[in-house]
């Protein structure tokens, strides 16, 4: 599985049908396009930390706006 597929799997598991994974592309905005709320954002960040072994700080979460931002952070580019 690619990183984006693993990320999508996490979102589907956490949000079920409440998140719009049809709009899931690197350029998708997490809030506006994917439909993520603030508690969801925290939960997803925790799940990503477990799945990918990365550690977010508070600024990361403020600056992450799109799926690509998450992928960059997972890949250690941020």
Partner 1 sequence: MDVGRIILIPYYLFLRMKIYDTQKQEYREKLRGGALILANHSSFRDPFYVGCAFRYRRMYFMTADVVMKNPLVRILLTGMGCVSINREAYDIQAIRKITALAKDGQTVAIFPQGGVHRDNDMQEIKNGAILIAIQAGVPLVPIYTCKPKHFYNRQIAVIGETLHIDRRMPSLAEIDRYSAELLHRMQNCQHIFNELTEGKTHD
State the minimum distance, in angstroms, from the CB of residue 73 to partner 1: 12
43 forms part of the interface with partner 1 (CB under 8 A): yes
Q: Measured from the CB atom, is 15 or 74 closer to partner 1?
A: 15
54 belongs to the binding site for partner 1 (CB under 8 A): no
20 burial via Cβ count (<10 Å: 0-12, 13-18, 19+): middle
Contact status, residue 48 vs residue 13, Cβ threshold 8 Å: no
Q: What is the DSSP letter of 29?
A: B
Which residues form the interface with partner 1 (CB under 8 A)? 13-16, 18, 38-43, 45-47, 56-58, 61-62
């Amino acid at each position: 599985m690619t990183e984006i597929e693993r990320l999508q799997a996490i979102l589907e598991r956490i949000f079920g049908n409440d998140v719009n994974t049809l709009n899931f592309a690197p350029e998708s905005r997490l809030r506006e396009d994917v439909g993520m709320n603030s508690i969801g954002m925290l939960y997803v960040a925790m799940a990503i930390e477990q799945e990918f072994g990365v550690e977010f700080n508070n600024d990361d979460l403020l600056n992450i706006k799109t799926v690509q931002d998450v992928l960059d952070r997972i890949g250690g580019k941020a």
